[in-house]
Each structure stands twice: as C-alpha cells, then as structure tokens.
C-alpha cells in the first residue's frame, strides 16, 4: 500500500512505517545465526563444524556429526542503546535463544565403511530480534510535515485525501483548502518548529526446526531441515512538532502516530553437506530455499492537534473547549512474502584436540524478495521498488575455539554483515564481535557468550524533509547454554 515511488529513498531512511513496505521486506529477510552460546561466541561460523544445535539452522548436515543424543536450552539477555546528540534510549529484553533435542541412532554393528549413524533433531532457534527504542529531534526547523501534507493534498477534494495522512491532517485543521482545492498549512512563512520523533520496536523471528542427518564413513555428512518460522513485529512511531514562542500561527503542537503490528508463519527447507577432506580439514555447503510467509498486518495512524485557546477565530466554531482535535484510521491486510534464497560455503580446520578455526561465507540477493497475494491489491510497484533498492551481498563469519584443558574451552568470533542497499547513500552493513567459554563435566556442559555490535542509522524525521538525523545503536547480548548428553 506504499505510495509515491518518487519518495522511495526518503522513506527508506525516514523510519516511517508503511504497509508492505520495502523496508520490512528487508527486515524480515535478514537473519542472525546465533542460537546457542557456543555458536554466538564463535560468530555463528558453524557451517562446516556441526555438532551444535545452531547448525541445524545454518547447515543441517551438522546434525550428522553428533555421536550421542543431546538436549540444550539457551536463555539470553539483550541490551540496546540508541543515541542521538547525547540523548539515549535503552531497551532490555530477555529471550530464549535456543531449545533443542537431538537423538542419535548408531547401529549395533556399524560397517567400517558406509552409514555409521542416523540422527534426528527437533527444537527452536531465535534468528532475529527487533527490539529497540530511539529518540530523534531537530530544533528550530524551518520546514514542517504540514507543508508536505499540503503539497500532496493539492487538487483532491477532502473526501479523496489519503486516509492515513492528509485526510487526518485536514480533519484536525492542520491543513485547509480553498475553492480551487489548493491546500495550505496553518503555519505562516517564517514560523519555525521544534521536531521530535520516538521509535519503539519489538519482536522476533524464531525458527522451529525438524532435521534429519546421517554420517557416511565418518567422511561425508548429509542433512536436511524443515524450518517453520514464527514472526512477530510491532512498530510504534510518534512524530511531533512544537511551535516556537514567537511564531504567528495559532497552532501549539501536533502529533502524528503510526502503529503497525505484523505476525505470521513461514516455511523453508535447508539442505547441506559436510565433507572431511582430511582429519583436520572439513568443508561444507548449504542451500536455504526462500521462506514463504503468510502475514497479517494491522496499520493504524492518528493525528492530534492543539491550538492556542486565547487566539479568537483560530479554529472552527464546532471545536471543543480545549481547541484540541484528533482523527484516526485503521487498516488490516493479509499478504504473502517470499524471502530470497541463500547459499552458505564453509570451511573448518581442526588443530588436533586443542583448537579449531571455522569460516562461513554466505551469499544472498535481497532484491529477490517478493510480496504476493495481498488483500491490498496489486503489489507490482512494491516488488519493483525492492528490485531497485536492494542488491546481492555477502556475509562473512569467523570463529575460533581453543581448549585450555580437556574440560575448559575459550572462544572468539567476528562477523561482517554486508550492506544490502544498491544505489542509495545508505549503509546498513555492520560488524559483530563475540567471545565466550565452555565448561563440560561428564554428560553436562555449560557455555557462555558475549556479543557486541555497533551500527549507525541515518533518518529524516519524515519523508520530504532535508534534515538528516543520525542514530547510533549499540547492542550487547549475553547467552548461556545448558546442555546434557546421554
């Protein structure tokens, strides 16, 4: 339902929510493979290693590496700080990063060559987290969202104005028209406004996995996973403008609120292989089909305005005693989203029983994401916007583990996530750094990991503004995995 293709680049950096927006197509296509603490500590680089429940969402051949049954669960704590010009917003969240069970069947008389064991796994990995808060502001601005609304309303009768924005502005007396359907805001030419915007996002993508794998001759490991993804995303933005004391206008302030809730289920398939070239060197490859989502979305916008009650004739006679007005519009739609294919190539080198170095290289073309079968009608323009906005990119994940003693290991990791944008002056690539340790005793093991990432986002407070505001985000995660082998 996104309008005005010529505003595409501005809407991408505005942080403005639109139903079936290209921004959400990207958000729901990006994933972070860090379900267990061991995987998180090693940067998610488990495509050629296996033997960890996170690998079922990365390279399902990793389930074939198991030689015993296992149960794991991973609680995690996440903290995000978003800062703009010294003002910051903090967001804490507690999640379950992983719960999983793997059953291993080893034949009583396994042949020296041939199939050695068959494994089955079922469980859950958290692969995306949307939790964050942000506060943006721009003081003493000579532009206003009201000017944009007045320009977009031009030539339309009040009944034909866009229901989510311009119609709400008209109903709250923020823009007014003449007989020729020209619209003007209630601001005068030299009026200046303080602007602020608050962003509050929450949600996740969790993947329930059903995996099967096998080990052939301790050389070749094969696996397949059915992934059922559960998506929930809630976004609330509140944009306000406040009139300065020496303005001529009778307007004191107005607020434009946007609320969007998206939820649904998707399914994908993953296939992978790991080959042991030597006792020290392993290589792996995996293909992930698109995730086919069916999503339900509620989009709600409202505008409220407040005028100075001491200025006569500044508002219609039917205004309330406080000279405040509010209007709201709600829509509910369902649509399908198809995320892109992804390919993962991996290699791992084992230094005897003392350590391991692992690398994953992932390729994904975000321009191939596609909306389908929407209640809102034809989505060809949105799909063209996706193709024009995004590109093929790659992600690199590197992890290392060193065994201090037979029971204690230390780990470190790094991931470089590529920028998905094509031609615009926007860069949403970022780096993550991680570290951790593991302790095992008999059939019990405990892993702990810390992960850090920092990234900047450039916003305009509303589509059409030339004032760019930068939000600096830092994200900290702590994961703890408790595991039992039997």
Tell me if 279 is assigned to some domain. yes
The domain that holds 20 is classified in CATH as 2.40.160.60
DSSP code of residue 93: E
Tell me if 161 is assigned to some domain. no
Tell me if 291 is assigned to some domain. yes
Tell me if 101 is assigned to some domain. yes
Q: What is the pLDDT of residues 169-217, one digit of tens each?
A: 999 999 999 888 999 999 998 999 999 999 899 999 999 999 999 999 9
Residue where the block lists tokens 């073309």: 365
- Alpha-carbon distance 190 to 328, whole Å? 30
Query: What pLDDT is recorded for position 158?
Result: 93
Judged by DSSP in three states, 219 sits in: coil
Q: Please choose, from the candidates 241, 240, 238, 210, the residue with its C-alpha nearest in 3D space to the C-alpha of residue 224.
A: 210
**Chain centre to alpha carbon of residue 156:** 37
Which range of residues forms the domain containing residue 217? 5-144+187-485
Tell me if 163 is assigned to some domain. no
The rounded mean pLDDT for the chain is 88
Query: What pLDDT is recorded for position 12?
Result: 44
Residue 331 has pLDDT above 90, yes or no: no
Number of domains forming the structure of the chain: 1
Q: Please choose, from the candidates 440, 467, 443, 470, the residue with its C-alpha nearest in 3D space to the C-alpha of residue 454.
A: 470
DSSP code of residue 424: S
> Distances in Å between the alpha carbon of 312 and those of 105, 175, 319?
84, 18, 12
Contact predicate 44/35, CB 8 Å: no
Q: Please choose, from the candidates 35, 82, 89, the residue with its C-alpha nearest in 3D space to the C-alpha of residue 451.
A: 35
pLDDT band at 367 (very low <50, low <70, confident <90, very high): very high
Q: Rounded to two decimals, what is the model's pTM?
A: 0.87
Judged by DSSP in three states, 30 sits in: coil
Query: What pLDDT is recorded for position 11?
Result: 44
Query: Cβ-count burial of 349 within 10 angstroms (0-12 exposed, 13-18 middle, 19+ buried)?
Result: middle
Tell me if 173 is assigned to some domain. no
Tell me if 157 is assigned to some domain. no
Q: What is the pLDDT of residues 206-220, one digit of tens each?
A: 999 999 999 999 999
Residue where the block lists tokens 């065994």: 403
**Hey, what are 99's tokens?**
């719960």
In which region does residue 203 sit, left (phi positive, over 0), alpha (psi from -120 to 50) or beta (all else)? left
pLDDT band at 458 (very low <50, low <70, confident <90, very high): confident
Average pLDDT value for residue range 334-353: 95
Residue 319 has pLDDT above 50, yes or no: no
Tell me if 158 is assigned to some domain. no
Q: What is the pLDDT of residues 393-420, one digit of tens each?
A: 999 999 999 999 999 999 999 999 999 9
């Amino acid at each position: 339902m996104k309008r005005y293709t010529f505003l595409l680049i501005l809407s991408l950096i505005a942080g403005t929510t639109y139903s079936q927006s290209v921004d959400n197509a990207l958000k729901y296509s990006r994933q972070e493979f860090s379900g267990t603490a061991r995987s998180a500590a090693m940067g998610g680089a488990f495509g050629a290693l296996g033997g960890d429940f996170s690998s079922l969402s990365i390279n399902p051949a990793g389930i074939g590496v198991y030689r015993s049954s296992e149960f794991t669960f991973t609680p995690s704590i996440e903290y995000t700080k978003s800062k703009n010009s010294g003002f910051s917003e903090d967001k804490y969240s507690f999640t379950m990063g992983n719960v999983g069970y793997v059953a291993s069947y080893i034949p009583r008389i396994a042949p020296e060559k041939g199939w050695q064991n068959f494994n089955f796994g079922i469980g859950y990995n958290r692969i995306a987290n949307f939790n964050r808060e942000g506060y943006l502001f721009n003081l003493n601005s000579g532009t206003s969202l009201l000017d944009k609304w007045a320009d977009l309303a031009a030539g339309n009768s009040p009944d034909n104005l866009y229901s989510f924005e311009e119609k709400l502005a008209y109903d709250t007396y923020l823009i007014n028209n003449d007989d020729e359907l020209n619209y003007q805001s209630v601001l005068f030419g030299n009026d200046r406004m303080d602007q602020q915007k608050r962003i509050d996002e929450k949600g996740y993508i969790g993947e329930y996995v059903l995996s099967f794998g096998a080990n052939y001759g301790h050389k070749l490991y094969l696996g397949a996973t059915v992934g059922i993804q559960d998506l929930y995303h809630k976004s609330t933005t509140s944009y306000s403008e406040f009139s300065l004391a020496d303005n001529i206008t009778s307007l004191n302030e107005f607020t434009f609120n946007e609320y969007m809730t998206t939820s649904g289920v998707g399914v994908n398939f993953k296939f992978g292989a790991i080959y042991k070239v030597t006792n020290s060197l392993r290589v792996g490859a995996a293909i992930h089909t698109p995730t086919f989502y069916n999503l339900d979305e509620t989009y709600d916008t409202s505008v409220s305005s407040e005028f100075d009650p001491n200025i006569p004739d500044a508002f219609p006679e039917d205004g309330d005693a406080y000279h405040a007005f509010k209007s709201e519009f709600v829509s509910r739609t369902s649509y399908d989203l198809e995320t892109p294919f992804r390919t993962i190539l991996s290699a791992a080198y084992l230094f005897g029983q003392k350590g391991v170095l692992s690398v994953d290289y992932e390729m994904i073309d975000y321009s191939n994401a596609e909306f389908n079968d929407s209640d809102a009608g034809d989505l060809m323009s949105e799909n063209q916007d996706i193709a024009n906005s995004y590109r093929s990119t790659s992600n690199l994940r590197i992890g290392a583990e060193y065994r201090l003693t037979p029971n204690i290991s230390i780990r470190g990791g790094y991931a470089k996530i590529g920028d998905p944008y094509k031609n615009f002056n926007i860069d949403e690539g970022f780096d993550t750094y991680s570290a951790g340790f593991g302790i095992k005793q008999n059939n019990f093991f405990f892993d702990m990991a810390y992960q850090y990432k920092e990234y900047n986002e450039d916003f305009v407070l509303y589509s059409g503004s030339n004032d760019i505001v930068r939000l600096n985000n830092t994200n900290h995660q702590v994961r703890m995995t408790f595991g039992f082998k039997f």
